Chain A
């Protein structure tokens, strides 16, 4: 046991955070990080369904099954934009930190709540306001810029709806910054007695590194997005060549945030995977320090690689070469993590419940995503692949294959803690098989399409790309089906699942030392920590 006995005579009473106060109002005004986490869950899941709808629309159109195109070019471009903007800004970025992070972080630290509970609730409502603002552009004035809003297309050639969308993203950025700030202070100030920095779980190291990126990088995006608004409404001309501005400057600003944002998406996923692999191998994590410090290293290097999105933008050859070499450095801490996770399984006792399957799926997909990242980091190779389907396949393997697999695994893993019930393991496994298979059928052919030269964001394409596009579309429906099964499994689990014990997986971190679901303030007595977080002896 890594921690002191936290189970008291109250541990099994029926009083918990879910029934601590009742009615909608008690949820809407709650300061409990666990409830706020669940509210993010519901919000992000809803947005995910909308983003998924656009994805299926895009893929169905590209299959060209009928004689007539399913969408008009403009509608297609809008679908593509909404799919990207929703999935990036409203699902993958907040998904793990704001939902799983909010739920898990204070309990794993042995804290009663985050450092600033009111700020935490405010962050949620800021997120909702931003999402609503962004969504209003779907209704009032649709946007077709793609989620990257490249100038001068976004400022000179498209509808004013872009202002709504970027202001939505701007607003959501505040939520991200405030959540990051909250997590950093919580991690530093509210650890349980005995929990030194080298005893915090790896999930927290990952969230901590992510938070640093959030508070340092997000303001850059905020300013950049404001500049788009200013350019469009006031014609300030920073990005307008006719007024002496530079359109490529926007790309520098944008990727200075959005490249680190890729790690806002993937670092928390790596945190989840670290928890899952050790818990389901029943073995101490291999190389705790290496995994922890590699998270920090990835966060640090992530600020220095943005120019690899711009090898063909007209930036100098020398700049391209410098960004290429720094980008290669990211590969090292990433490889370290993969090796550490695999070594954790060595001489462990591995079981294969649904969360573990998702973790293994993550390893498989993320390895492919990571290796193809090396192709793109190499300048000479990237010139051919840049803005083709190879890139589309690569970042879906990393962000969807990586982050969403981790998110699903995390949901099944912490589900008993959240709701005090188990999900059907069979349901979880079926959804895993469908998502995992569907994912590879959808995105693997896209590597080949990219190598063949098919550019991304194409409404129409050459006949030789047809077969692979159709295979890809079939795969996308398998993914859709998989998430549907997952959704049913989760809803069924919430209402009809078997009662969960306090520690159904036999894990060692602090959240499993309190009751399922935990009481309002997480622990009935403050736990004392005497050893590292994964002490499976």
Chain B
């Protein structure tokens, strides 16, 4: 589009490290131009009237005009149409920002706390960083983060990716991105979290995906993956006495193929089984009762740590 080159968005936006960043910047350029045009119409028009209709003598008379239905309709209707267009454009981008693609190359559990981030990979690699260790992700492939917080609300903001998501205690939220090129990108905390809020910075380091694979499999920290730990816990808590692993029906729904499936509930609502759903069902099973099953599961709230829950979720995800 030719008009968008009028505003080189990179001149005040950060680098465009993802495809979505480009799309956001295109909308941004459009909004700036539309705003400039509106501003010139409004304030330019006002200035012109001020000069043209400046009072020059004491006995000057003003015109008597009370209203004009046609003009008033136009200046209500035209802004409405423009704003609905902007709404729709923003919505399309928002849905892309919020919907991770099917093929995720790296999935990282991120836990925020005052004033550091912990990132844990599916194979058990874990980093606690208050700025030193970058989060390593593959370039050219999608990474999904599952965010939570230990204490207060934090927010994971990557300006170069034009994306941001709050990390909320007691809840799992998610964020995804696909950096186009290898490089280092800064991450800010954008939800005020106390004394060192502004110091809570880390970097995301995107490396070529072959290098990432080598890094990911090398020098594993500890033998157990979160899914392994989850499996142990699953046995300890005797989950298998109610939940089968092979698709057969016992007391509760089977775990086989559960993650990502569509769940229908006794109250008629439904949702896709994502991390947040699993978390809620493990901690407070009565929140959503799957259609056709009794509300028989005990409450595990207060008995499982956040790490336990994350491990269980990883195990359940692995039962395909």
Instruction: Give A residues with C-beta under 8 Å from B.
Output: 73-74, 77, 144-146, 150, 152-153, 156-158, 241-242, 244-248, 281-284, 286-290, 311-314, 317, 320-321, 324-325, 328-329, 331-332, 335-336, 338-340, 342-343, 345-352, 360, 363-364, 367-368, 371-372, 374-375, 377-384, 386-388, 448, 451-453, 455-462, 536-537
Contact = CB atoms under 8 A, between A and B. Distances in A.
A314 B171 contact: yes
B46 A378 contact: no
Contacts of B14: 452-453
Q: Is the interface of B mostly helix, strand, loop or mixed?
A: mixed
Nearest to B173: A314
Given A157-B114, A380-B27, A342 B49 contact: yes
A302 to B, nearest CB: 16
Given A332-B79, A386-B190, A448-B12, A156 B55 contact: no
A136 B110 CA distance: 40
B35 A150 contact: no
A113 B68 CA distance: 36
A457 B197 contact: yes
A382 B97 CA distance: 11
B76 A368 contact: no
A381 B98 CA distance: 13
B159 A336 contact: no
A459 to B, nearest CB: 5
B20 to A, nearest CB: 9
Interface of B: 12-14, 23-24, 27-28, 31, 35, 38-39, 42-43, 45-46, 49-50, 53-56, 60-68, 71-72, 75-76, 79-80, 83-84, 86-87, 89-99, 114, 151-153, 155, 157, 159, 162-166, 168-171, 173, 186, 188-199, 284, 301
Contacts, number: 276
A16 B55 CA distance: 33
A283 B301 contact: no
A290 B73 CA distance: 10
Given A150-B191, A378-B31, A381-B27, A368 B49 contact: no
A342 to B, nearest CB: 5
Contacts of A349: 53-56, 60-62
Contact of B67 (A290, A332, A386): A290
Contact of B53 (A345, A388, A455): A345
B63 A73 contact: no
A373 B126 CA distance: 41
Nearest to A388: B190
Contact of A378 (B72, B90, B168): B90
A314 B63 contact: no
B133 to A, nearest CB: 19
Nearest to B36: A371
Residue with the highest number of chain A CB atoms closer than 10 Å, among B31, B61, B90, B198:
B90
A47 to B, nearest CB: 23
B67 A287 contact: yes
B75 A313 contact: no
Contacts of B53: 281, 345-350
B67 A244 contact: no
9 contacts: A73-B196, A150-B191, A317-B95, A328-B83, A351-B55, A360-B46, A383-B94, A451-B28, A455-B157
A536 B83 CA distance: 35
B90 A379 contact: yes
A281 B80 CA distance: 29
A343 B153 CA distance: 47
Q: Is the interface of A mostly helix, strand, loop or mixed?
A: helix
Given A150-B192, A152-B152, A247 B46 contact: no
Nearest first, the 5 closest Cβ-Cβ pairs linking A and B are A241-B170, A380-B93, A453-B159, A378-B90, A379-B94
A243 B112 CA distance: 19
A343 B24 contact: no
Nearest to A457: B192
A321 B76 contact: no
B64 A314 contact: no
Residue with the highest number of chain A CB atoms closer than 10 Å, among B65, B72, B83, B192:
B192
Contacts of A352: 50, 54
Nearest to B57: A349
B168 A248 contact: yes
Contacts of A388: 190
A377 B98 contact: no
Given A378-B89, A452-B14, A461-B198, A350 B49 contact: yes
A150 B153 contact: yes
A282 to B, nearest CB: 5
Nearest to B67: A287
A248 B165 CA distance: 13
B171 A241 contact: yes
A335 B190 contact: no
B87 A325 contact: yes
Contacts of A321: 91, 94-95
Contacts of A377: 83, 86-87, 90
A387 B87 contact: no
A448 B56 CA distance: 41
A313 B43 contact: no
Contacts of A347: 53, 62-63, 65
B63 A348 contact: yes
A246 B31 CA distance: 35
A339 B75 contact: yes
Given A314-B165, A384-B164, A374 B62 contact: no
Contacts of A247: 152-153, 168-170
B35 A372 contact: yes
Contact of B46 (A241, A282, A363): A363
Contact of B169 (A152, A346, A351, A461): A152
Contacts of A343: 65, 68, 71
A156 B90 contact: no
A371 B35 contact: yes
A110 to B, nearest CB: 22
Nearest to B50: A350
Contact of A380 (B84, B90, B198): B90
Contacts of B163: 383-384
A335 B76 contact: yes
Contacts of B114: 157
Contact of A364 (B12, B24, B43): B43
A459 B189 CA distance: 12
Given A247-B152, A380-B27, 8 more contacts: A77-B197, A153-B194, A158-B194, A342-B49, A387-B164, A388-B190, A455-B189, A455-B190
Nearest to A450: B12
A122 B61 CA distance: 46
Contacts of B199: 459-460
Contact of A317 (B50, B98, B159): B98
Given A328-B84, A379-B91, A73 B195 contact: yes
